[in-house]
Amino acid sequence: MLVLLFIAQKSEGGEKPWIEVKSPHFRVLTDAGADDGRRVAREFERLRAVFAARFPEFRLDSGAPLTIFAARDEQTAKTLAPYFWKVKGAKPAGYFQHSWEKQFALVRMDTWYQGTERVVYHEYTHMITALNSRWLPVWLNEGMAEFYAYTRFEENKTLIGAPTERFRALRERPWIPIETLIMVNQRSPYYHDEDKVQMFYAESWALVHYCLFGPKMEGGKKLDDFYQRLQNGTEQKQAFQGAFGSFKEMDQQLREYLNDYAFHAAVLKVAPAVSDKEYLTRTLNIAETQAELGGYHLWTHDREHARIYVTEALKNDPKLGLAHEEQGFLDLYDGKETDAANQFAEAVSNDKTLYLSQFAKTMLSPQATSDVRADQSIFLRGLTDTLNMNLQFAPAFIQMARLAVRQNDLSTALKYSMKAESLEPSRAGYHTMSGQILLRMGRGRQAADYAKFVADRWFGADHNEAVELWNSVLESERPAGEVVLDWNPKETQRAEGILKGSTCGDNANWSLSLAQGEQTLTFHSTGGYLWGYSDSLWYGQDHINFCHYLEGHRTIVYYKPAAGGSYAGDVVEFEVRDDLPAAPAKAPAG
């Protein structure tokens, strides 16, 4: 509480405005100096140029814009991300927040070139691969991120391929056989156990390094071949052997490569087209500064601090659109739907660039759920206005697809759904939604392919949603001999129904109820739990709150039965579905 009071008093007293630096592709906010902001923007531009040269067909710009906060020192960084300093001994040099709507990088200028850049370059690489890959195995995803994290920039050249700090693990620990390494997933001990994860990262880096620079690897062409096989849906072991040969041979070749003690690297002379001296630089006013800091806290789910900054921003500038947008999302999280809608309307009125406010205002409008064609036209216009502000914003295409389903225009629905897939190819639920539309169009074989692709590669709610699609396809239209099964928590029972309501307290005390016909089942939670939801839910991971707005959705609860009492059991895990809308009823003949 003392920390919050201090921040509020500091804001009221006139917190120092931050500086904004805009390069062609990046936006940096800093409380250091303009030169520091330009330096950070320049190096991100140079890293982006590396990806443009290495992957000329890749999309490099996301529908979720990236803002880089270049903090002057540890104290500023601690103010932005206080939760990190709650861990004893933790003094993070950098941080990256991946979100559906906005993305943030936090770097410290007092540790730049001492580790800050490696953390954010690693995560920036993940952002690029997610924009361009339907799915990547964990080893390749982490190996590529680790490889590009150590990119070095000198005055007239860029060096890629420098060894990771984890390289020592390759000298000191037993190796993971490649056939085992490539099958590691998010639930594997190699990805979580502290004793194993360092070796996993080190060897993943080494395998990527070898695939790019090793003999017989054709300068990375075999890795590109492997990547393309994965994107085409080939099972990973088959794709690996088709591109590289036997696992035994690759194990031997990788060992020989690493025992050589001399690593190859690439020197590139790619450079951004615009000099950093031409970057647009300005000092934000105090309200803009407070709104930007409030937005950082909001999208990193630190709502306590977000409320303070947003309140101060609105006091200092009641017409600041960004602050109204952020207040709208705070209201939405609190279940104040009318207040949120008013804030989004005010935000768009004051700033015509705020596509998130336009989208949220549209989704909260009465037209969003109306079956009247005139209302649906207004709703579609609101989504179109969103895309006119940000054509890469995939959730708007998803909602256009759902509207087309409601109108029984399935070919248009599929077109929009596949567009969303292309914009966010790593989002499992978008693939499943396309499969659901295909099934409704009578194209069961293609729907089964979509279901199998997702079910084989994702876990939890994403996996189980794909299994539901698979089970909805006629057995005669599924690939012969293929089987997919639910992932269910051990020693639990399963209940399915329509979410009737929830009573939310803290994480250790809440309940939800399901309607099953005339019967209502109530479940409690007294501890930890997991939950998942369909990717097509419009508020997505950035603002979703199961305490509000999810009533009426089909929900699956995995629970441990209660030993008597007035409730059915204790929740272990639950999943909220966003089923396709029903097609309009046909008018009676005559």
Query: Does 113 fall in a domain?
Result: no
CB count within 10 Å of CB 194 equals 6
Which of 264, 295, 325 terminates a domain? The answer is 264
Query: Does 329 fall in a domain?
Result: no
Query: Does 417 fall in a domain?
Result: no
Distance CA 129, CA 134 (A): 9
**For position 266, what pLDDT does the model report?**
83
pLDDT in tens, 80-118: 988 887 776 667 778 899 989 999 999 999 988 777 788
pLDDT in tens, 366-394: 999 999 999 999 999 999 999 999 999 99
Query: Does 295 fall in a domain?
Result: no
Query: Does 502 fall in a domain?
Result: yes
Q: Is the pLDDT of residue 314 over 50?
A: yes
* DSSP structure class, residue 369: G
Please tell me the pTM assigned to this model. Answer: 0.92
**For position 6, what pLDDT does the model report?**
33
pLDDT in tens, 170-206: 888 889 999 999 999 988 888 888 888 989 999 999 9
Task: Give the residue among 95, 93, 107 at the shortest CA–CA distance from 31.
Answer: 107
The pLDDT-based confidence of 2 (bands split at 50, 70, 90) is very low
Domain count, the chain: 2
Q: Is the pLDDT of residue 590 over 70?
A: no
Which of 224, 246, 264 terminates a domain? The answer is 264
Q: Which amino acid is at 173?
A: R
Mean pLDDT for 407-426 is 97
Give strand ranges (E) for 101-169.
Answer: 103-108, 152-153, 158-160
Q: Is the pLDDT of residue 69 over 50?
A: yes
The pLDDT-based confidence of 1 (bands split at 50, 70, 90) is very low
* Average pLDDT value over all residues in the chain: 90
CATH number of the structural domain spanning residue 515? 2.40.50.140
In percent, how much of the chain has pLDDT > 90?
71
Mean pLDDT for 316-330 is 98
Of 271 and 448, which is predicted with more confidence? 448
Q: Say if CB 28 and CB 70 are below 8 A apart.
A: yes
Question: Residue 540's domain spans which residues?
Answer: 493-576
| Residue 459 in tokens | 């876990």
